[in-house]
């Protein structure tokens, strides 16, 4: 794998040689052969930089509409906010006034979304290369005049902060961490930020230990195309009325509630089973959603919901129940021998299952698609055979 930790001088050299990027993009040669050919004309460092950038631009197309013109490094791309999520968050900042500081701006995806919405933004990052990428990426989106950058440690920043967005680095000593105490800047700084600023947002990993860490703030879990992307801590003037919320993109479905005002209602397996979007699960709002959609849990420790009516909501994926099986491979294999399918999806949340081994033991010599859900029903582990409702995937 090619490295992507290039200094500012290398980035400037690469920008001055667009013909090199064109050569890499248009080449059909192998990586080794291409490097050998290009090094006859260009230095090794700039060839490596060009090949890495082209690779990252290709990988970024699912995140950014203008990926082909953007500047990335591997870590920056990995930790960057997807364009759709950044645009959604920027709408919340419509309540803000004055300049917005984007702390730990990375490649600038959140800065750009704020600038596109009409805001003046100052991006701050300790990395000079990150600040440079933010500026160049802002130009790619036509908002370069609305974004300035400062290369500085955000913990030493002397500017007066009113509204902020902060994306702390989730890598501690080169390793990814979910502990906010080990992020950079750490939890203590994030809490101070909330106290001194009028309002803002802190971007966290949805897997991080944010529970109970931020008083008088709203924690919003955001999913994109069914994948939970981030937990956003909204505070001050930008916080909502409830402490917990979940928003699903691209539909825009949003649910806000106090999880402690809703209690598990467990019912028997009915005609339909529903897989709840992970943002709602991570926000602890499964029971609030069940109340809203008039559904029940399969078990008080199981996030799958069930009901006798078909629900059309972006918050859930519905399945029509075909059979309820005991949780042993003999009964599962027998079912699929008697009623085989061609393609089988296996889903489970809390029941430990060796999915690969189970899949190999099931005969798939029929037609059509089915889903096998390994779930808890009233405290007992069961296998539920179902089919996705057409048009509701």
* Fold assignment, 77-240: Rossmann fold (3.40.50)
Q: Are 3 and 52 in contact (CB under 8 A)?
A: yes
Output DSSP code: residue 71.
-
Amino acid 390: pLDDT: 77
Which tokens is 254 given? 């949003």
Structure confidence by residue, pLDDT tens digits, 292-326: 999 999 999 899 999 999 999 999 999 999 999 99
pLDDT band at 174 (very low <50, low <70, confident <90, very high): low
**Exposed/middle/buried for residue 206 (C-beta within 10 Å: 0-12, 13-18, 19+):** buried
Average of per-residue pLDDT across 20-34:
88
CA–CA separation, 236 vs 234, rounded Å?
A: 7
pLDDT band at 4 (very low <50, low <70, confident <90, very high): very low
pLDDT band at 172 (very low <50, low <70, confident <90, very high): low
Output DSSP code: residue 163.
E
Amino acid 28: pLDDT: 83
Amino acid 173: pLDDT: 62
CA–CA separation, 313 vs 294, rounded Å?
A: 12
Q: Where are the domains of the chain?
A: 8-59, 77-240, 272-388
Average of per-residue pLDDT across 132-153:
97
Q: Are 114 and 93 in contact (CB under 8 A)?
A: yes
32: number of Cβ within 10 Å: 8
Average of per-residue pLDDT across 158-163:
92
Q: What percent of the chain has pLDDT over 90?
A: 85
CA–CA separation, 76 vs 241, rounded Å?
A: 33
Own/partner contacts of 311-316, CB < 8 Å, gap of 24 or more, are 311/272, 311/274, 312/392, 313/253, 314/248, 314/251, 314/253, 314/277, 315/248, 315/253, 315/255, 315/276, 315/277, 315/280, 315/289, 316/274, 316/275, 316/276, 316/277, 316/289
Amino acid 381: pLDDT: 94
Higher pLDDT, 171 or 327: 327
Average of per-residue pLDDT across 4-13:
84
pLDDT band at 29 (very low <50, low <70, confident <90, very high): confident
> What is the residue-averaged pLDDT of the chain?
94
pTM to 2 decimal places: 0.93
**Exposed/middle/buried for residue 55 (C-beta within 10 Å: 0-12, 13-18, 19+):** middle
First-to-final CA distance of the chain: 35
Structure confidence by residue, pLDDT tens digits, 68-109: 999 999 999 999 999 999 999 999 999 898 899 999 999 999
Structure confidence by residue, pLDDT tens digits, 233-288: 999 999 999 999 999 999 999 999 999 999 999 999 999 999 999 999 999 999 99
CA–CA separation, 34 vs 81, rounded Å?
A: 32
Amino acid 392: pLDDT: 54
At 354, give phi and psi (nearest 5°): -85, 90
């Amino acid at each position: 794998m090619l490295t992507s930790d290039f200094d500012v001088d290398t980035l400037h050299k690469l920008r001055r040689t667009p013909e090199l990027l064109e050569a890499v993009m248009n080449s059909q040669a192998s990586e080794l052969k291409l490097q050998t050919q290009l090094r006859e004309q260009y230095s090794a460092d700039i060839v490596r930089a060009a090949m890495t950038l082209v690779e990252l631009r290709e990988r970024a197309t699912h995140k950014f509409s203008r990926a082909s013109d953007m500047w990335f490094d591997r870590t920056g791309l990995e930790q960057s906010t997807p364009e759709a999520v950044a645009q959604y968050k920027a709408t919340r900042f419509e309540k803000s006034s004055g300049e917005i500081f984007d702390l730990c701006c990375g490649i600038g995806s959140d800065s750009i979304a704020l600038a596109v919405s009409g805001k003046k933004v100052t991006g701050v990052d300790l990395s000079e290369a990150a600040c440079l990428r933010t500026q160049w990426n802002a130009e790619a989106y036509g908002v370069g005049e609305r974004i300035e950058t400062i290369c500085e440690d955000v913990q030493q920043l002397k500017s007066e902060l009113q509204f902020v967005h902060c994306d702390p680095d989730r890598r501690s000593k080169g390793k990814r961490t979910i502990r906010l105490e080990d992020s950079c800047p750490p939890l203590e700084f994030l809490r101070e930020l909330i106290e001194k600023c009028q309002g803002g947002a802190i971007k966290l990993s949805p897997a991080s230990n944010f529970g109970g860490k931020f008083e008088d703030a709203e924690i919003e879990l955001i999913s994109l195309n069914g994948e939970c992307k981030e937990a956003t801590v909204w505070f001050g003037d930008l916080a909502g009325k409830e402490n917990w919320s979940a928003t699903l993109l691209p539909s825009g479905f949003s649910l806000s509630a106090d999880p402690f005002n809703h209690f598990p209602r467990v019912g028997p397996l009915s005609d339909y089973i529903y897989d709840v979007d992970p943002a709602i699960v991570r926000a602890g709002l499964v029971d609030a959603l069940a109340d809203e959609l008039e559904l029940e849990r399969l078990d008080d420790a199981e996030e799958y919901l069930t009901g006798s009516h078909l629900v059309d909501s972006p918050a859930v994926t519905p399945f029509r129940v075909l059979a309820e099986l005991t949780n042993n491979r003999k009964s599962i294999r027998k079912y699929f021998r008697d009623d085989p399918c061609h393609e089988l999806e296996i889903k489970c949340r809390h029941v430990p299952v060796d999915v690969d081994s189970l899949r190999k033991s099931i005969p798939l010599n029929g037609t059509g698609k089915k889903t096998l859900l390994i779930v808890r029903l009233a405290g007992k582990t069961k296998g539920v055979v179902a089919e996705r409702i057409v048009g509701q995937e």
